[in-house]
Structure 1
Amino acid sequence: MRPIMKITGAMDLIGQQFGSILMTILISLAWLMIVLMKRVPNPVVVLVYAGLSYALFAIILSGLVSPILDGKLQGPLTNPLSMISVFATNAIWGFLVGRIAKALRHK
């Protein structure tokens, strides 16, 4: 969702910093609600994979759309270390939300 908002310019309308924080919170809440409502046996593993999938989607979308919008390839595909960072950040994000889900489920 965040990459789409950035590409369409919606992120610029609400402000880059606020928009990023808001989208992170909304996506985290959606992930949390889904694994709790579906009673996923291992939410940590599921949400780590959700984070990795999100990272892959963002990288691919950036690679496809940046040449169209900017005339040249930009984003994580231009720097392998950046790609590692995107995957690591999103895996950690999934792990943290998964731990929250696991803690809430046991209450």
Structure 2
Amino acid sequence: MWSPAPDRHRRDMTSPHLPAQPTPGRSAPVPVPWAVVGGLAALALLWPLAGLTGALGTGAPRALTIIGITAVVWIGVVGLGRVPRPVLTLTLTGVAYGLVAHAVALLVPVLGGLGGPGGGPLWTIVPALLLDAMWGALAGLAAAGVQRLRGSGR
């Protein structure tokens, strides 16, 4: 079978050394900013810190204050910081926040504040993570709204 001579000046488009070319009309996917997710999830440490120091009072007022601070920081950082994919970023942040909170409760039950040794029954982790993801998604929607108001929506 006849085969044309290879053209030495033409690059083979299937070469693994070439960067991936985006499909016409489509842009390359924007990666999730994992450093932002981890940093914002670290706010889960406010619970044991407030419990240990006695700051912010006790009971419901302390809980509402921590939840409010967390929400304002999440929406502010992502909304004003032009973080890409705000809903996905804060949904993942919510899940990571829940994982940090449960890890603290398991490792240091006195500081965890989740109701006793080990942070409560193991079966409560999945519903709690789903709830944290939902709160993160709602905060992400608010952050996306802030980005749109500022003219930096993605």
Tell me the TM-score range normalised by the shorter chain. 0.7 to 0.9
Q: Does 1:80 align with 2:125?
A: no
Instruction: Give per-residue Cα distances to partners, 1:19-48, cap 9 Å, x unaligned.
Output: 101110101101111112320121101001
Q: What are structure 2's unaligned runs of at least 5 residues?
A: 1-45, 150-154
Aligned to 2:54: 10
User: What's the RMSD between the two structures over aligned residues?
Assistant: 2.2
Identity %: 23
Deviation (angstroms), 1:17? 0.2
Structure with bigger gyration radius:
2
Aligned to 1:65: 108
Deviation (angstroms), 1:68? 8.8
Q: Give me the TM-score of the superposition, normalised by structure 2.
A: 0.58
SS at match of 1:14: coil
Q: Does 1:43 align with 2:77?
A: no
Specify which of 84, 88, 99 is matched with residue 56 of structure 1.
99
Aligned to 2:15: none
Select the structure with the greater relative contact order (CA < 8 A; seq sep ≥ 6).
1
Specify which of 134, 142, 148 is matched with residue 92 of structure 1.
134
Q: Give the count of matched residue pairs.
A: 101
Matches within 5 A, 1:29-40: 29-40=72-83
SS at match of 1:74: helix
Deviation (angstroms), 1:74? 2.9
Q: Is the 8 A contact 1:67 1:74 kept in 2?
A: no
Taking the aligned partners of 1:64 and 1:5, their CA distance within structure 2 comes to 17
Aligned amino acid, residue 54 of structure 2: A
Q: What are structure 1's unaligned runs of at least 5 residues?
A: none
Taking the aligned partners of 1:67 and 1:5, their CA distance within structure 2 comes to 12
Which runs of 4 or more aligned residues in structure 1 lie more than 3 Å from their structure 2 counterparts after TM superposition?
Answer: none
